[in-house]
Structure 1
Amino acid sequence: MTEIRFGYKASNEQFAPTELLNYGVMAEEQGFDSVFISDHLQPWRHDGGHAPFAMTWLGALGARTERITMGTSVLTPTFRYHPAIVAQSFATLGSLFPDRVVLGMGTGEAMNEAPLGVEWPEGKVRFARFREAVRVIKKLWSEDRVTFEGDYYQLDRATIYDKPSTPVPIYLAGSGPAATKYAGRAGDGYITTSGKGAELYTDTLLPAVRTGIELSERKPEDVDMMIEVKVSFDHDLEQAMEATRFWGALGLTPEQKHSVEDPVEMQRLADALPTEATAKRFIVSTDPDEHVARIKEYLDMGFTHLVFHAPGPDQAKFLKLYGEEILPKLRALV
């Protein structure tokens, strides 16, 4: 039987490094199975935003915890970071914390890359560059003195000397059929986010993942199906709704935010939305049973690793409430 896991999304766009670290430690104490951190150079909004360096933060989290799985959701190995640097950093993390580290990767956002002088390319180019980066990382983890001549990256007798004793799983994100099929074919796990309508998952994304898994000659249970489930839980409904406003950018259409490179502009667009729009991507309720019922929909679709993203400023309150009122009910289901 496939193991079902429940994790916590540590939002580095919203909290300073030390505060966020304390929340990661608290997640383990409250019974969560994993902690995944975003990887941003710049946050979704300028005022009150943060962007601690994910790889450094993961090292600190590993040192402060004992059992949780931890990783990125998601890191972009194509512009800010050369894929060889990503391979080296996660090999080190995997050596320090065996069987506890996951490398989650995606094709990126303009706002994280363009401020460093990157000319943000079209999606087809980003995807091709991403696939090549994944190949580079895998080769560096499995071979010594790697020479590689790609369209975007070149290696000349490169070696990662401190490889972990057990492989670091690679999880790949995808929001369209091509990237999702690739995630199923090349990844140890698949990452997507909730709140986009059931048909997208059941009719497009999950079939594409399964096709990719079949092409890799593996079984569905060989790939961890991870989804970030956006939840706002509070005993006060007004507070649960209002908490979603910090994450108003999630209520924007892909067309509205695709090429936005400035957190100030992203913030302006998000703040113009009504609260009903900022809340639409979240499960917002004061009722634990309603949360469980709506989360169960994702379990029924076939997701096996649910990572909860709460939007509110009081994450300690969220972790305590979810740990006491929601997680036991979810574990009873599985």
Structure 2
Amino acid sequence: MTRFGYTLMTEQSGPKELVRYAVSAEQVGFDFEVSSDHYFPWLSSQGHAPYAWSVLGAVAHATERVELFTYVTCPTLRYHPAIVAQKAATLQILADGRFTLGLGSGENLNEHVVGKRWPTVARRHEMLREAIQIIRELSTGELVDWKGEYFEVDSARLWDVPDTPVPIAAAVSGERSIETFAPLADHLIAVEPNKDIVDSWHEARRATGLPGDVRVIGQIPICWDPDRDAAVARAHDQFRWFAGGWAVNSDLPTTAGFEGATQFVKPDDVAESIPCGPDLDAIVEAISEYWKAGFTDIALVQIGDEGQELFLKEAAGPLLEKLRSASK
């Protein structure tokens, strides 16, 4: 059965609000919750960027049932993989085994803040590959020394190792990344309902003798609101960066860059790619593309902080009922 999740968007809400929304999302019936891990919002109008790991630690204690994911953390520039391994292990203990570590090759928007040169895509993938290997080694609780092409680990050990190992989900976008990460990760993360990517991931795992049918985790933005015009305006104000695509978005370094890159994106352009307004059936239709492509887990992004409480109170429950009925 398809699982449906709620996105804790650290770019559009403060830390206390995110914890409150997480509790409400669990109560209304979401199966899991994913958190972005940003240092910057994409656009200044979003206005937030709290530290995701502090938020997730609070959410782990405030919730009881929902699974938790990072969606996604880059363990190569802003964070050293040894530190990510420690954070993930600690969060898994706090969450009583409900946590999955979602990893990706990062965005310049967040990683440039530590003053390191932004690598090419191929090099970012190689760095992520090595980082995953280090995280796996440390997760055993054994003493680790590592001297690789990109990272060094000097006599490191995790002293608090969870009883339930932390699963790793890797974000991929094409054949090269699938070939690299399918043998290393437990689950797949993809941001577009592309069946070819899903099938290629399963095939790549089976070719190495690993289980082919694993979790495939996607995400889709929606902007529910009783007033469609208000929904379109809010989506345009805070989510027009989405129109650029990841090939562009991953390289832009600042909110000013995103402002400039999206200055000619019109509200109608956003409304064509993001379901906006009160029509739950239209939202279900947009989301259905993911389970038709083979996604097992689909996280919803309700755009805008000001719309969260009303969405969770009035729309989330009926929407989940429709989604579960349609996806059977």
Q: Is residue 191 of structure 1 aligned with residue 197 of structure 2?
A: no
- Residue type at the aligned position of 2:223: S
Of the structure 1 ranges 120-129 and 149-158, higher mean CA displacement relative to structure 2 is found in 149-158
TM-score (norm 2): 0.93
- Residue type at the aligned position of 1:13: E
Of the structure 1 ranges 121-130 and 292-301, higher mean CA displacement relative to structure 2 is found in 292-301
Of the structure 1 ranges 70-79 and 46-55, higher mean CA displacement relative to structure 2 is found in 46-55
Shift of 1:281: 3.4
Q: Secondary structure at the match of 1:148?
A: strand
- Equivalent of 1:327 in 320, 324, 328: 320
TM-score (norm 1): 0.91
The structure-2 alpha-carbon separation of the partners of 1:46 and 1:170, relative to structure 1 and needing over 3 Å to count, comes to same
Shift of 1:253: 4.4
Shift of 1:269: 2.8
Shift of 1:150: 0.9
Task: Tell me which residue corresponds to 1:279.
Answer: 271
Q: Is residue 242 of structure 1 aligned with residue 233 of structure 2?
A: yes
Q: Is residue 263 of structure 1 aligned with residue 255 of structure 2?
A: yes
Task: Tell me which residue corresponds to 2:286.
Answer: 294
Q: Secondary structure at the match of 2:5?
A: strand
Shift of 1:116: 1.9
- Residue type at the aligned position of 1:187: A
Q: Is residue 76 of structure 1 aligned with residue 74 of structure 2?
A: yes
Show CA shifts across 1:82-106 (max 9, x none). 1000000110111122221111110
Show CA shifts across 1:215-245 (max 9, x none). 3423333x21110022222332212212212
Task: Tell me which residue corresponds to 2:16.
Answer: 18
Q: Secondary structure at the match of 1:93?
A: helix
Matched-pair identity in % = 33
Structure 1 stretches of 4+ with a deviation exceeding 4 A read 253-256
The structure-2 alpha-carbon separation of the partners of 1:97 and 1:259, relative to structure 1 and needing over 3 Å to count, comes to closer
Contact map agreement 1:183 1:212 (CA 8 A) in 2: no
Contact map agreement 2:26 2:63 (CA 8 A) in 1: yes
- Equivalent of 2:171 in 163, 170, 173: 173
- Equivalent of 1:311 in 265, 282, 303: 303
Task: Tell me which residue corresponds to 2:118.
Answer: 120
Show CA shifts across 1:246-275 (max 9, x none). 011111245654432111231233343111
Shift of 1:40: 0.6
Q: Which runs of 5+ in 2 are unaligned?
A: none
Q: Secondary structure at the match of 2:182?
A: helix
Cα RMSD over matched residues?
A: 1.8
The structure-2 alpha-carbon separation of the partners of 1:299 and 1:124, relative to structure 1 and needing over 3 Å to count, comes to same
The structure-2 alpha-carbon separation of the partners of 1:88 and 1:180, relative to structure 1 and needing over 3 Å to count, comes to same
Q: Secondary structure at the match of 1:233?
A: coil
Of the structure 1 ranges 251-260 and 139-148, higher mean CA displacement relative to structure 2 is found in 251-260
- Equivalent of 1:209 in 180, 201, 207: 201
- Equivalent of 2:220 in 214, 229, 239: 229
Task: Tell me which residue corresponds to 1:9.
Answer: 7
Contact map agreement 1:231 1:308 (CA 8 A) in 2: yes
The structure-2 alpha-carbon separation of the partners of 1:211 and 1:181, relative to structure 1 and needing over 3 Å to count, comes to farther
Shift of 1:276: 2.0
Q: Secondary structure at the match of 2:252?
A: coil
The structure-2 alpha-carbon separation of the partners of 1:5 and 1:114, relative to structure 1 and needing over 3 Å to count, comes to same
Show CA shifts across 1:298-317 (max 9, x none). 21221100100121331111
Show CA shifts across 1:161-182 (max 9, x none). 1100011111111122221343
Contact map agreement 2:57 2:91 (CA 8 A) in 1: yes
- Residue type at the aligned position of 1:225: V
Shift of 1:279: 3.2
- Residue type at the aligned position of 2:229: E
Shift of 1:285: 4.8
Show CA shifts across 1:14-39 (max 9, x none). 11111121111111111101111100
Show CA shifts across 1:48-69 (max 9, x none). 4211111111000011111111
The structure-2 alpha-carbon separation of the partners of 1:297 and 1:278, relative to structure 1 and needing over 3 Å to count, comes to closer
Q: How many residues align?
A: 325
- Residue type at the aligned position of 1:320: K
Contact map agreement 2:109 2:250 (CA 8 A) in 1: no
Show CA shifts across 1:161-219 (max 9, x none). 1100011111111122221343432222111124xxx6xx123x123212222134233
- Residue type at the aligned position of 2:177: A
- Residue type at the aligned position of 1:192: A
Of the structure 1 ranges 319-328 and 48-57, higher mean CA displacement relative to structure 2 is found in 319-328
- Equivalent of 1:93 in 65, 72, 91: 91
